[in-house]
Amino acid sequence: MFSRPLFRQLPRWGCRAVGDFPAYQQPLTEVTTLSSGLRVASQYTSDETVTVGVWIDAGSRFETKENNGTAHFLEHMAFKGTKRRNRIQLEKEIENMGGHLNAYTSREQTVYYAKCFKDDLKQGVDILSDILQNSTLDQAHLDFERGVILREMEEVEKTTEEVIFDRLHLTAFHDSPLGYTILGPVENIQSISQEQLRDYIQTNYLAHRIVVAAAGPVDHLKLTQYADELFSSFRTGEETRSEVKPNFYGSELLYSSHEDGNLAHFAVGWQGVPWTHPDSLAFMVMQSIIGNYKKNEGLVPARLSSNRLTNSIANNVGPGADSLAAFNTSYKDTGLFGFYGQSDEATLDSYLDELLFSVSSLAFTATDEEVERGKRQLKTTLFGSLDSTTAIAEDIGRQLLVYGRRIPVAELLIRLDAVTTEQVKRVAKEHLFDRDIAVTALGPLDRMPPLTELRRRTAAARV
């Protein structure tokens, strides 16, 4: 989708020059590809601190059933000591710098980053390169981290939204590693070995799958020199992995319970599109159109909201509908689009009916007003989030992995402004109307309609 060059002819807004708009004055993102294939990228900002990190094209979807959980386990082991720094030395060095070191793992990416003062950039890069290339993977620390990860799993399982989304992936992509959880099953956590960790690094941590990204008062030339000097141990070459596009299944995974006072939690997902699909921006706009809802919250009363779905929930479904959040998740070769909600048991059927009708009806009833409002809200979300060096570095690293480049704000604005109501209708008709859905739910589900009935409602009409 974003492979085309920025348009030469930019639209005119009154008599002001395009360059007068702040969005078109975004600082340049400099990118250098080293001889190893590793990419170095940075954006200069006027701050006293800098965020530098390593974004790796590796996550839980590149695991097997036997080693699921390895990518996340490596994240824990990275901070337990290297050949040059033991755990205490590493923690003291970060503390003495006044810095911050963190990491996270997703289904397709693993990220390690440091936030430090601008004069400590080389030291930050050195620490990152050390924990990624020289971790000892000590057996004693490995055994200790098993307990830490199992406790983390217990905390995750207390967060219903995370449980729902893990189960939605499991039911939608149940014959693919994309359906695996990031933490992995208990039996794997208890048995993952040093050999499995090293094998995962050897297979996935290749130079051409790595981006070193930084944001802040950064000299790009120096950052490139540091990366070239310090990240020299990663294997080079264009070795390919087995990356089979996952099948999407219309299916359901339900967990019924009847504890007093519990709400029913549910998620419904359609097959979405990859990051680079031509319709990816239309999906983002549709997510914005559907929006979020929380009973008794918001500046404007829900009954008076200009959001059609929010208004309908408040006026037609009633107080049993507790909350709603639309989601749109893209991956390399597929995606998940849908909604997550909560309601009491008595309202569950009518609430699902209202939500399914509202999503599928975008194919025929989306209005110019809704699309324009959705685009404005999306712009606020996209650009309002880039308010720190960490957020900017994250944006750079992620975009280089998924698009192969950092999309200029000007280009993104032009493409977003080009999304039309007719395009939204077409995309909704092709991907959402009368299409298979994956469903998961937990809680009091006695009034949960069967999957066949929910599937029928994706094409239902109202008189």
Catalytic residues: 75, 145
In whole angstroms, what is the distance from residue 404 CA to residue 129 CA? Answer: 22
Closest Cα to residue 121, out of 50, 41, 184, 57? 50
Instruction: Give every CB contact of residue 345 below 8 A, 6+ residues apart in sequence.
Output: 264, 443, 444, 445, 446, 447
* Angle (nearest 5°) at CA 275 between 269 and 281: 80
Instruction: Give every CB contact of residue 340 below 8 A, 6+ residues apart in sequence.
Output: 161, 164, 165, 265, 266, 267, 324, 325, 327
Tokens of 305: 């909201």
Instruction: Give every CB contact of residue 147 below 8 A, 6+ residues apart in sequence.
Output: none
Task: Please give the order of strands across the beta sheet that includes 49-56.
Answer: 29-33, 39-44, 210-216, 49-56, 110-117, 100-105
Cβ 379 vs Cβ 40: under 8 Å: no
CA 365 to chain centre: 29
Closest Cα to residue 370, out of 361, 296, 327? 361
Q: What is the largest CA-CA distance in the chain?
A: 72
